[in-house]
Amino acid sequence: MPSQSLAGKSALVTGATSGIGEATAYALADAGAQVLVVGRRRELGEQVVSNIHNAGGSASFYAADMHSSVDINSMVETAVSLFGKLDIAFNNAGIFDRMNDFHTYSDDSWDDMLAVNLTGVFRCMRTELAAMLTSGGGVIINNASTVSHRGSHRAGPAYVAAKHWVLGLTKQAAIQYVQHNIRVNAVSPGPTETPVAAPLVSQGPAAVAAALSQLNPTGKFISPNAIAQAVVYLASDAASMVNGSEIVLDGGQLALL
């Protein structure tokens, strides 16, 4: 049976200072990968690195803003410099805005959301693909969303549009680079228990169930650890024939549609 061990592999994770990204950095390191922890908040990022070291893993921190193509290019260059190559990239960093009507949605909101959630992902993929072509292959995993498939009563139009496009980028790169030993896939989480959800979680399980039951048949948040384990699987040899696809982690949300 193909292994999910990532021993000897190198990885980078964007948005790795909290939530899904932090959980994934730990999971990749636990599977044996050397991890470049990427985020804007140095103190939090260095704490993640310290936690990985304390658990016996290998990691470094790099401060980068997904608005900046210079930061993104330097991020990948740093990973290659530190590890000799880039085997795995999890493009997770993103920003979220609450529902705003189309007719009142501002140009600034549109531009900022797309700059990080779409253009940032494209720039990450572009630079990661170039590095992987040089080293002979790799795996890219993008963090999409269940709103890659549907509209949302919670998110604004730019967020929903960007996540649809992320799946498009995933499929396009997957078919272009598979002959170069590069696989590209996505994970699509439903509502996830990240710091953004803390106010609702603090109200207790009954409040969470009431808020989520109309979306998620389980009435529960998705665990960041569950998403992290899906990323480890996609990054591993166990998923060698998975390409241009996604793993939806939503407790059955999309099945309701």
**What are the residue ranges spanned by the domains of the chain?**
10-252
pLDDT, position 28: 98
- pTM for the full predicted model: 0.94
Beta pairing class for 34-39 and 246-249: unpaired
Question: Which residue in the block uniquely carries the two structure tokens 């949302």?
Answer: 152
Burial class, 178, CB count within 10 angstroms (exposed 0-12 / middle 13-18 / buried 19+): middle
pLDDT, position 14: 98
**Successive 10-residue mean pLDDT values, the chain, 257 residues:** 87 97 98 98 97 98 97 98 98 86 91 96 98 98 93 84 97 98 96 76 78 79 94 97 96 82
pLDDT, position 168: 97
pLDDT, position 1: 56
Among this protein's residues, is 105 annotated catalytic?
Answer: no
SS3 24: helix
Catalytic residue (choose from 62, 159, 177, 233): 159
pLDDT, position 204: 80
pLDDT, position 257: 61
Q: Into which CATH architecture does domain 10-252 fall? A: 3-Layer(aba) Sandwich (3.40)
